[in-house]
Amino acid sequence: MSDITGAPLPPPTRTPLLPPTRTPLLPPTRTPLLPPTRAEYCVIACAEAWRDAGEILASPMGLIPSIGARLARCTFSPDLLLTDGEALLVGPDCTVEGWLPYRQHLALAAGGRRHVMMGASQIDRYGNQNISCIGEWARPARQLLGVRGAPVNTLNHATSYWIPKHSRRVFVEKVDMVCGVGNDRAGGAPFHHLARVVSGLGVFDFATPDRSMRLASLHPGVAVEEVRQATAFPLAVPDEVPYTRDPTAAELRLIREVIDPADTRSREVAG
């Protein structure tokens, strides 16, 4: 190429793109601590989904699951790989640690090396999840997100769910459309594993003979009957239901002063 005088132009130069940087995590202070809030119990319950998970990709979808995954990475699951949701691996402070090509993401997902925590517009006793539509599929009363990647997620790696508002409209007898595959439909898929469901009322697992949903713990201040009334199917309930564990002082300081100092968690779960 040449300029208007005919003289050759120098070859173009490209300035390398630097990854975005964030302010590094600061050490927590030693200010007096108030008692944990309901939102903070939910953070702890979500974090526990990744306890001692090893080097797998944690894919939290939603605010409180994201805080929980970062807390797990900072404490009891230091080998977790955190993603920005697109193409980068990030640290607990969201600084870039590496590039995650799409093909590598699929390899992790297809080989059971991912644990996603998704939401649910409906979920039933076997963990079938619906995020697509409400009502008859051919003529739904309400169109939602669509199936998205839910079938592949649930069949190929560990899956948990975060449902902030526990109600009979969400915890239903039968989902209107199966998006995430439940335990009664998995058909022996080798990496299918429904780990837990965390709601604003408690934690649920599938540790029953028929792999239906069981109440695993109550958040402090919640009664078993409150959970039963908010659930449209018969829920397995042990004779003694523990409370969701308390956050340690160190975990509370990390949540409040380092990971979520703006207290965005309380916008999702009050109390």
Q: What are phi and psi of 109, to 5 degrees?
A: -65, -45
Within its chain, how far is the Cα of 61 from the centroid?
A: 5
SS3 (DSSP) at 152: helix
Reported as a pLDDT band with limits 50, 70 and 90, residue 268 is very high
pLDDT at position 16: 44
pLDDT at position 80: 95
| Average pLDDT across the chain, whole number | 90
pLDDT of 131 over the 50 cut: yes
What Å distances lie between residue 140 and 13, 24, 145, 155, 200, CA to CA?
54, 47, 13, 26, 28
pLDDT at position 25: 67
Rounded distance between C-alpha atoms, residue 183 and residue 203, angstroms: 17
User: Which residue in 218, 123, 208 sits closest to 173, CA to CA?
Assistant: 123
Within its chain, how far is the Cα of 248 from the centroid?
A: 21
Average pLDDT for 125-147: 93
Quickly list H helices, 56-132: 63-74, 102-110
Q: What are phi and psi of 138, to 5 degrees?
A: -70, -25
Reported as a pLDDT band with limits 50, 70 and 90, residue 26 is low
Q: In this structure, are residues 177 and 141 in contact, taking their beta carbons and an 8 Å threshold?
A: no
SS3 (DSSP) at 19: coil
pLDDT at position 13: 46
* Paired tokens of 4: 């208007």
Determine which of 2-11, 88-97, 239-248 has the lowest per-residue pLDDT on average: 2-11
pLDDT of 2 over the 50 cut: no
163-221: per-residue pLDDT in tens? 999 999 999 999 999 999 999 999 888 899 999 999 999 999 999 999 999 999 999 99
Average pLDDT for 72-84: 95
Q: In this structure, are residues 202 and 244 in contact, taking their beta carbons and an 8 Å threshold?
A: yes
Q: Which long-range contacts (CB under 8 A, 24 or more apart) does 189-192 make?
A: 189/155, 189/156, 190/112, 191/111, 191/112, 191/155, 191/156, 191/157, 191/158, 192/154, 192/155, 192/156
Average pLDDT for 93-102: 89
Of 1 and 40, more confident: 40
